[in-house]
Structure 1
Amino acid sequence: MTPIQAVLFDLDGTLVDTAPDFLRICNQLLEAEGRPAVDYAQLRLSVSNGGRAVIKGAFGIQDDHPDFERLLEQMLSLYEASPAQDSRLFAGFDEMLTWLEEINIPWGIVTNKPARFTHKLIQQLALDKRCAVTICPDDVSRSKPDPEGLLLACKRIDRPPTNTLYIGDHQRDIQAGQAAGMRTLAAAFGYLSPKDQPELWRSDFCIQESTQLLPLLKSLIQPY
C-alpha cells in the first residue's frame, strides 16, 4: 500500500464541530418568533446538509412555507457575522493537525459550504495559515459527490489522489473520494442521522471517535 502523502477533510461535522453556532443562532431566531428552543442533538443532524436543512430541522417547516426564505436569510446573515463563536475542532484534532504539519504532510479542506462562510470560519479558528488548500463550491462547477473539488485540491498541493486520504461524515464525501481515486475514511462521530449506516458506505476506514484519527494516521503515513 502506497503511503498517504496528503489528508483532506470535509468541514462541518468532520474537521470542525460547527453545530453549536447554528444552535445559538437558531435559538435566537426561535425565541424572536415565539417558538420553543431546539436542542443540540436535534439540530446537529441537519448541519451537514446546509442552511436550508438547518431551518427545516429547527423550525419544522419546508421550503414552501411563507416564512422560510426570510428565516433562512436571517440565519445566514447572523452566521456570516460570527461563524466561530462556539465552533471548535473536534477532540484530538489540533494535536493531529500539528503532527501532520511537523512531518510535512499537507492537509486541506474540500467542502460544500460556500466560500463566504468557510473562509471566515477558518480565519476565526486560526486555521487559514495552517491549511494548505481550501476548496468550496465557488471554486468548482460541480460539488460533492462529484470528485472535481477533490481533484482540484490535489492539483493545488501537488499530491496524487492515489496517495491522498479524504475524510468525511456523509456518504457523498465517501462517494466523491472514491470517484477521485482516493482512500476514504468515514467520520462516524460527525453529523450522521439515525438512518445513516457508514459501515455500508464502503470507505477504506471508519472511526467512531475523533480521537481515533491520529493513531490511525500514524499507522498509514510514512514521513518522506
Structure 2
Amino acid sequence: MAIEAILFDLDGTLADSAPDLGAALNRLREEAGLPPFPLDILRPYASAGARGLIGAGFGLAPDHALYPDLQRRFLAHYASRICVDTRLFPGVVELLAELDRRGIRWGVVTNKIERYTRPLLKCLGLHDRAACIVSGDSAAKPKPDPAPLLMACEIARVRPRNVMYVGDDERDVQAGRAAGMHTVIAAWGYLNGVPIKEWGADTIIDHPADVLVLIDGP
C-alpha cells in the first residue's frame, strides 16, 4: 500500500481531551445540584462531544426540550477551559515527528467544530504542522459522511486510495470506507464502549507507533 498521507481524528485519537470535556459536563451537573461523575465513566462518551456527554450526564437526547440550553452552556464551559488538562496520547508526538522526518503528510479530520478545533490544535502545537485541518462544520456534512475526508484530500493534494484514516469511533470507519481509504481503529481511544471488531475497519492498532508498521509493511 503506497501511503501518501495519514489523516487522524482528533479527540480520542491524537488528543486525550476527555478531562476537559468531562470537566465541562461536571460543571453542568454542579449547576443542577448533581454530584460530579468520575472521568472513567465519562471517558467513553468523549468522542461524541456534547451529545455523548450530555446524554451520559443527564440522560437526554438532542431532541429533548432541555437539550439546547444544556448544549449551549456545555460548549461555553468547554470553550473557557479548552486545553487545561488535554494532552496528546503517549506516542503521538514521536509518531508525528517521524512522519515529518519521512516527508509523509498528515492532517486532522474531526467532527469538533472549527472554533474549538483550531485553538486546541494551536495549544497542542500541531496547528501549523498539519497538511490539512477539516472540522465538523468545514464540509457540507460531518462524519460518517465521507465529505470531510474527501475535502482533506483535496487540501493536502493526495488521492483517497493512498490515504490512511485513523480514528476511535465507528463513524470514523464508516467515513473512511465511504471515501475509499484504508481505515484504522485507534484502540487506545474512547471507543464508546462498543466491540470495535464489529466496525469493519481494515486494521486495529494498539499504539500510535503501529502506524509506522502499517506504512512499512511486512
Output the TM-score relative to the length of structure 2.
Answer: 0.92
Asked whether the 8 Å contact 1:174–1:185 carries over to 2, the reply is yes
Alignment partner, residue 198 of structure 1:
196
Q: RMSD between aligned alpha carbons?
A: 1.8
The answer to whether structure 1 residue 95 and structure 2 residue 90 are counterparts is no
Give the Cα–Cα distance (whole angstroms) in 1 for the partners of residues 84 and 208 of structure 2: 25
Q: 1:66-121 CA distances to partner (integer Å, 9 max, x unpaired)? A: 64333321110121122111111111101111110111111111111111111111
Alignment partner, residue 77 of structure 1:
76
Give the Cα–Cα distance (whole angstroms) in 1 for the partners of residues 64 and 173 of structure 2: 33
5+ residue gaps, structure 1: none
Alignment partner, residue 137 of structure 2:
138
Give the Cα–Cα distance (whole angstroms) in 2 for the partners of residues 170 and 137 of structure 1: 14
Alignment partner, residue 27 of structure 2:
28
* 1:3 positional shift: 2.0
Asked whether the 8 Å contact 1:11–1:109 carries over to 2, the reply is yes
Letter in 2 for 1:114: I
* Percent identical: 40
SS in 1 for 2:97: helix
Alignment partner, residue 165 of structure 1:
164
Asked whether the 8 Å contact 1:3–1:221 carries over to 2, the reply is no
Letter in 2 for 1:214: A
SS in 2 for 1:185: strand
Give the Cα–Cα distance (whole angstroms) in 2 for the partners of residues 61 and 185 of structure 1: 31
* 1:166 positional shift: 0.1
**Within 5 Å, which residues of 2 pair with 1:179-218?**
179-194=178-193, 196-207=194-205, 209=206, 212-218=207-213
Alignment partner, residue 37 of structure 1:
36
Structure 1 range deviating more: 79-88 or 91-100: 79-88
Give the Cα–Cα distance (whole angstroms) in 2 for the partners of residues 200 and 62 of structure 1: 24
Asked whether the 8 Å contact 2:7–2:163 carries over to 1, the reply is yes
Give the Cα–Cα distance (whole angstroms) in 2 for the partners of residues 32 and 181 of structure 1: 45
Letter in 1 for 2:202: D
Asked whether the 8 Å contact 2:112–2:136 carries over to 1, the reply is yes
Letter in 1 for 2:152: A
After superposition, the Cα gap between the structure-2 partners of 1:178 and 1:28, relative to the gap in structure 1 and judged at 3 Å, is same
5+ residue gaps, structure 2: none
Alignment partner, residue 119 of structure 1:
118
* 1:26 positional shift: 2.0
